[in-house]
Structure formats: C-alpha cells, structure tokens
Structure 1
C-alpha cells in the first residue's frame, strides 16, 4: 500500500525505536549510581559499628539520632529507646523517614522511573510497561505523601546540624579538625537539597495572592526557587556527601586514619 499524506495510515516499523545513539548510557549510569549508594548505605546501617568518635563527638549521619539500646550512651542525644537487634538499625526512627523522603522526591521519581522502571528510558524509546495508571493506585499512590515526609526530613536535618555543632568539642574544649569541615559541609549541602525541595517551595510561597504583602515569605520562596532549579545536582551531591561523611568517621573510629586537627 502506498502511504500518502492524507491516508491516515502509519508506516509499519518492525523495530521498537529508531534511535541509534547511546540513549541507554544515561539510564545505566543512574542505575549503577543508585544501586551502589543503596548497597553501601545498607551495609553501613546494619554494620552497627565504627559510627562514633568520642574524642571529637563525630557521629555519622547514618546513625543519627542513635536511639537503640546498643548505641553508646554518649552518642545518644535523645535516649536509647529501641531494642538492640542485628536487623534493627541504630537510627531506626529516622532512616525510614529519610528513605521515603528521597524515594518520593520529584527528582528521584524521575530518576528511577526512567532508569530502573524504564518508563520511559529515553525520548522515542517505548515504555517498559504495557500500561500506566499514574500515581493513583497502590503502590505509587504513596508518592503523594512526599509533602509530609518533607517535615520529617526537615526535623532530621536540624538534628544533623546539631550533631555538626557539638562536634566542635574536644577533650581540651573547643576543637576544630578535618572532620568538622566534612560534617559542616555535609549539613550545608543537606540544607540546600531540603530547602530546594518542591514541597518546601510550596510551603514558602504557596497560597499567597500578593507577594508584596508577604516580603519574608517571598524572599524565602525566591531562595527555595533558586535551589529548586539545582535540585537534581543537590540530590546527587548529597548522596556523595553522606557517604563521604560516613566513610571518614568510620575510618577515624576504626583507627585506619587519624583526624587532621587544626585546633585541639
């Protein structure tokens, strides 16, 4: 059959798509990055060791707040209220909330939808699923809870900030070392990621009819909008900063390295 411009018929193409470039490279890198971080984080939260440096009050964010009865008393700012069990992380109260905050994040949804679920993996590449019902049914309906997990993440980021502040203590009083730089840097990046969250941006500027009548909220909304444009970058950078902070504290705690001290 000859196909004309007005026939309405479509050309029969046996191939799934006509892309010849390496469209799969981006999704593949995303899958490798996400799974590598999840593997490291899973190992660390269930390792239940080398999470605290008592001399300098260094506590890895993977164990903050440390609320298990297995936690060292000096590392437990909020008490030890959970039973000590190999399958129960020391920070079991915070980790599930942070996990859900990240998993329901608008950027991370895009990342694992297009890479892990292939929905779709790239422009012009067919969806990996036969049907799609949107985020209206179980389990994807839970994605709509992101706004609530934002408040939990906000509280935990405040706790991480306090951890970084009290880490300036040393046996001789005020102290300052490389670990402090890493902890503070990680907290700053976490604030950039959290404050740039889409839900945070809505909290700052949503439901306002006139920005001129709300100058403070307008300023906060402006800052959040600036960070929101870079939300993807901070999403990945904070994964790296969390792993780096944890690995450094683990290395110092295990005695593999000594903390580089500038003051005390």
Structure 2
C-alpha cells in the first residue's frame, strides 16, 4: 500500500483526512493531573538530589557506618577515610560529587529508562500529555535523531547500574558492624529497604528482561534463562511502581543519614 503524500509520520491529528474538530480534545476528565504531579514530583526530587550531592557533608555516620547512596562509592580525596570503601582517588572539588564514578551513570539509567521516558515525554514535553490529546509538537521523528537517539544507551547503563546496586548492598551489610561491633538500628532497616527497592527497580528493567530472554528462539532449550525471564517479566509489570518507590527510598535513606550525621536526631537502636 502506498504511503500518503505527507509521509507516514507527519500526518497525525492534523492530517487532511482527519475530521475537523474545534476543540483540542473531547476528554472531560482531569487528564492533566497526572502529568502535573509527575512534573512536581520529579522536579522536587531533582532539586533535593542536586543540593545533597553538592553539599558534601552529613553523608556518613561513623558510629554506625551508615553511608548514604548519594555518596557511594565515596572516592573523592575529600571523603572521610572510613566512608571510602574502595579508596580515595578522584579530585576534591566543590563541583565534583564525592560519588562522581556512579552518579552520572545512575542519572543516565533513569533518564533513558522506558518508564521515565514516558513520564517526562508526557509531562515536561507534552508529547502527548495523555491518550486522545494531541501532541503539542508539529512533527514526530521518534528517537531516531540526536539527542533522543542516545536513549539506546539504556541497555549499557543497566550493566553499570547492577554493579552500583551491588556496592549499595555491600554498604548496607557493612552498616551492621559499627564502632561497637554488630548492631541493628533503624538506620539499618532504612538502608536495607532502599537496597530492596533498588534491586526491584533494576531487575524489573526492560533491559534486564532482554538479558535473560532476548534473542532466544526456543525457550525449551534454555530452561534456566526461561525461568529467570519469567521471574523478571512478573517484576516488569510493576516497573512504574518500583521506579517511584526506589526514588522515595533514596530520599528516605539519604535524609535519615543526613539527620543522624547532622545530630538532628539519634539513631533508634534495637540491638
């Protein structure tokens, strides 16, 4: 079948063959509410994260070995020695985060994540803001041109994210051994909760699903990979929830560590 004269992607709701409707959309519900909440939520989180990353203080509780994920791995020469589990070798500068080796990749992972693409395309860019609501852009080229073609980096940032979550897991384990030996406090539970959320978000990623089941012609010949693909596929159905819950857990654990390190509160000890 021949393509229309104006091409396959340039028609849309304003194509000559479409009905002429005066209203932008016939939807009467509050379709704009979800994009608005997403803009508010992501903007607040990014602002908080930006401030905390460059604060370069109140990131480690020496007494209980609590290290916030915003500063892990802490590789700057300005890091507290006890918090630098993998050495101190990156420059100490106000404009260079203490966790300069991990934060860029984590940010890129979230930016290129399939769910977050949908979230900020619909909210910040209004492309489109909701189903049955026209795109505010005049043309559509997909993710075939710069800079959106860089979204393909997502599959590679996934592998780096797995390594970083393993480091966060190690940090949570080390936190059970404080200056007075083994102990359990509220901070340990918060750190563990954050690690669980990070693993759920990472393992529910579409790239993770492809790692286990992608390009397989016969699942019967790869029973182990099929079982893992089935498990990851179940997690993938809740990828959006895990994306937001992991953001919330990152805020929770960082704020808790900051509050304890700054002396605003004392860590509640159970053992």
Scaled to the shorter chain, the TM-score interval is: over 0.9
Query: Which residue of 2 is the match for residue 36 of structure 1?
Result: 44
**Residue 3 (structure 1) aligns with:** none
- 1:38-78 Cα deviation digits (max 9, x unpaired): 01100100110000000111000000000111110110011
2:131 to 123, 129, 134: 123
Q: Choose 167-176 or 185-194, whichever is displaced more.
A: 167-176
Q: Quote the residue 2:243 is aligned against.
A: 235
Distance 1:62 1:123 in 2: 36
Q: CA deviation at 1:210?
A: 2.4
Alignment partner of 1:49: what SS? Answer: coil
Distance in 2 between residues matched to 1:112 and 1:211, nearest whole Å: 35
Residues 146-172 of structure 1: per-residue CA shift (max 9 Å, x gap): 000000100000000000000000222
- How does the TM-score come out when normalised to structure 1? 0.94
Pairs aligned (count): 256
Q: 1:12 to 1:87 in 2, by over 3 A?
A: same
| Aligned-residue offset at 1:9 | 6.8
Contact 2:187–2:256 at 8 Å: present in 1 too?
Answer: yes
Offset at residue 207 of structure 1 (A): 2.1
Residue 226 of structure 1 corresponds to: 234
Q: Can you give the 5+ residue segments of structure 2 that lack an aligned partner in the other structure?
A: 1-15
| Deviation readout 1:26-47 (Å, 9 max, x if unpaired) | 1101110110100110010011
Give the match's secondary structure for 2:141. Answer: coil
1:11 Cα deviation from its structure 2 partner: 4.7
Relative to 1, partners in 2 of residues 1:11 and 1:199: Cα closer, same or farther, differing over 3 Å?
closer
**Cα deviations by residue, 1:182-227 (Å, 9 ceiling, x for unpaired):** 1011101110110110000010111223222222211211111011
Q: 1:132 to 1:12 in 2, by over 3 A?
A: closer
- Distance in 1, matches of 2:73 and 2:80, equals 12
Counterpart residue number, 1:211: 219
SS at the partner of 1:261? coil
CA distance in 2, matches of 1:10, 1:69: 62
Residue matched to 1:157: 165
Aligned-residue CA RMSD (Å): 1.3
